[in-house]
Amino acid sequence: MTTITKQNTTPAVHEADLRRVRNSGIKKVLGYAVLLIFAVIYLYPFAIQIATSFKDDPQAAAHPLSIIPNPFDLSAWKRMFGLTSDSSVPIMTWLGNSVLVTVIVTAARVFFDSLAGYALSRLHFRGRGFLFAAVLAVMSVPGVALLVPKFLIVTYLGIYDTYAAMIFPLLIDAAGVFIMKQFFDSVSVSIEEAARMDGAGVFRTFWSVVLPMARPALITLTILAFQGSWNEFSHFLVVTQSANHKTLITGLAGLTSGSLGAGTQFPLKMGAALLTTIPVAILFFTFQRYFVRGANEGGEKG
């Protein structure tokens, strides 16, 4: 085939074009088919989750695949929001804790991470190289090796089972510092140098000149910090114990793993899981492009 094509140029090119068009047609269909199949695999579980939270127990077991609850049953949601006599699922307490911790941690991370990232990138001081190496080293410590250590330190400090124990250790993350340092490395110094020449102090320059320029990176960092602290589990698991320090995530883990009394009660669990997903989902769909940037932060900058 190929040899023929090369010999008789004109008609063969025509033929090849046709074939290419046909091929690309097939390719397109195939491509869409693959994408659709995967999209179903990736999204259908969420649809089932939503639907199941509006079913009752027997229905959830009998029609697990259906995404149309029939009959429509609100009892799982009523139970979660305290509209029944049963108080075993104090969602509002969990929600309050989640929001509290997430807001503080996100704000702190955005501020402190960029502060430290800026210093590591721009300020000349002795020990900077060492500090940056330390940040890299810290990033490589696996989180699971820290469960017992964290428990030890918060107990040692006498803050076990307090909000302080939940919040303080999360105030700064090495990965965030790293991202900010990378970001500042990639932007030009000229504007801030001008500001410094005008006599602005280091912090003033940082606050009113550098930070406004860093908006895209800050948004990315905000998203990562929000998502990270909202979804955090193992840290809260080891540093708290009492019911009134539970977050949505640790509460849900308790529902799912512990005995909810009797029964599987999947609608309730799906509903609670859905509740933990909603804020992140809203954030995700609003700031999609920043999420993508987050996943590829260095990739796009490098």
By CB under 8 A, the residues from 202 to 261 that bind another protein are 202-203, 206, 224, 227-235, 237-238, 241-243, 249, 252-259, 261
When asked if residue 4 is in the footprint of another protein (CB under 8 A), the reply is: no
What are 104's two structure tokens?
A: 């503080």
Nearest to 227 by CA among 161, 175, 160, 298: 175
Indicate which single residue of 7, 9, 126, 215 sits in contact with another protein (rule: CB under 8 A): 126
Q: Is 7 in the site for another protein (CB under 8 A)?
A: no
* Sole window of 7-15, 69-77, 164-172, 208-216 interacting with another protein (rule: CB under 8 A): 164-172
- String marking each residue 27-66 x if it binds another protein according to CB under 8 A: xx--xx-xx--xx-xxx-xx-xx--x-----x-xxxxxx-
Counted residue by residue, the chain has a size of 302
Stretch that binds another protein, among 7-15, 68-76, 200-208 (CB under 8 A): 200-208
CA atoms within 13 A on the CB side of 271: 21
Amino acid identity of 181? K
CB of 186 to another protein, least distance (A): 9
Q: How far apart are CA 118 and CA 63, in angstroms?
A: 55
CA atoms within 13 A of residue 23's CA, in its CB half-sphere: 6
Q: How many distinct helices (H) and strands (E) make up the chain? A: 18, 0
| Amino acid identity, position 145 | A
- Among 176, 192, 214, 222, the residue binding another protein under the rule CB under 8 A is 176
Is residue 123 close enough to count as binding another protein by CB under 8 A? yes
Residue 31 beta carbon to another protein: minimum distance, rounded to whole angstroms: 5
Whether the ω angle into residue 71 lies within 30 degrees of 0, i.e. cis, is: yes
Verify binding: residue 287, another protein, rule CB under 8 A: no
Nearest to 107 by CA among 176, 154, 187, 162: 176
Instruction: Name the residue nearer to another protein (CB basis): 11 or 281.
Output: 281
Residue 142 has what DSSP assignment? -
Q: Return the number of the residue (11 or 123) whose C-beta is nearest another protein.
A: 123
Q: Which of the residues 80 through 119 are near another protein (CB under 8 A)?
A: 86, 88, 109, 112-113, 115-116, 118-119
Q: Quick one: 71 or 199, whose CB is closer to another protein?
A: 199
> Residue from 107, 155, 195, 219 that binds another protein (CB under 8 A)?
155
- Pairwise CA distance, residues 212 & 218, whole Å: 9
Residue from 9, 10, 127, 188 binding another protein (CB under 8 A):
127
Burial 217-226 (b: 16+ CB within 10 A, else e): bbbbbbbbbb
Q: What is the separation, in whole angstroms, between the first and last Cα of the chain? A: 44
Query: Does 128 help bind another protein (rule: CB under 8 A)?
Result: yes
In whole angstroms, the minimum distance from the beta carbon of 71 to another protein comes to 19
Pick 74 or 277: Cβ nearer another protein: 277
Phi, psi of 56, deg, nearest 5: -95, 170
Nearer to another protein, 20 or 72 (CB): 20
The reply to whether 178 sits near another protein by the rule CB under 8 A is yes
Per rule CB under 8 A, is residue 159 in the interface with another protein? Answer: yes
For the chain, state the CA radius of gyration: 27
